[in-house]
A = this chain, B = another copy of it.
């Protein structure tokens, strides 16, 4: 009777709180072993194993085994995109504890979003590129192109933008930011930029979670390039 795609299936999988917590953790971009995901979701390993089996068989998640561990990741950008789209319509959790509000503030400043950077810092970098007309202004869901492949930020990070342009993946993709209510830089370029920033030691991942901390080197380099990270100065002026 219906000629449409069966959206209820993936939605049902994401709709369980334990699985949703695992998927949100994987949105951080890192590969995580089953035991960590079990702890994150707050369930026993046996339960987590069942959840992960369903997620992999549905193609939302891929597993690679290394030794006696199995590491899980989101299967691709489409999956990450669906999760992001859902978080845009999800109810905002009301912050209760001080620890929560502090970590929320940190996430609002800089965090990883699957394979790219999100938060206020990501917007600051993107705004610089837009201001210099290296890329067009971002809109949620649309596709842009790279006008200036030799922008100082790209050269400072030794990024070879050409092969990125040649890839079939959407290049400059806006990704609606749930903390800032503005799209940030995703897509192939956003992913390349993020890995370069990590490789050059401008920033590093938090040991746990999705948080990203910019190093002194990264801050000074970015300041030199005209990007100001006002980490402390603007205390959560939501």
Q: Please list the residues of chain A having a beta carbon within 8 angstroms of any beta carbon in chain B.
A: 1-17, 19-21, 23-24, 42, 58-60, 78-79, 81-93, 100, 103-104, 107, 136-145, 170-176, 178, 183, 186-187, 209
Contacts of A139 in B (CB 8 A): 142-144, 170-173, 187
Contacts of A6 in B (CB 8 A): 17, 20, 90-91, 93
Asked if A9 and B91 make an inter-chain contact with CB atoms under 8 angstroms apart, the answer reads yes
Contacts of A8 in B (CB 8 A): 14-17, 19-21
With both chains docked as a complex, state the minimum distance between the C-beta of A51 and any C-beta of chain B, in angstroms: 12
In Å, the complex CA distance between A175 and B173 comes to 11
Known: A11-B14, A87-B4. A143 touches B145 (CB 8 A): no
Q: A106's closest neighbor in chain B, by CB?
A: B3
Asked if A11 and B5 make an inter-chain contact with CB atoms under 8 angstroms apart, the answer reads no
In Å, the complex CA distance between A142 and B46 comes to 40
Contacts of A107 in B (CB 8 A): 3
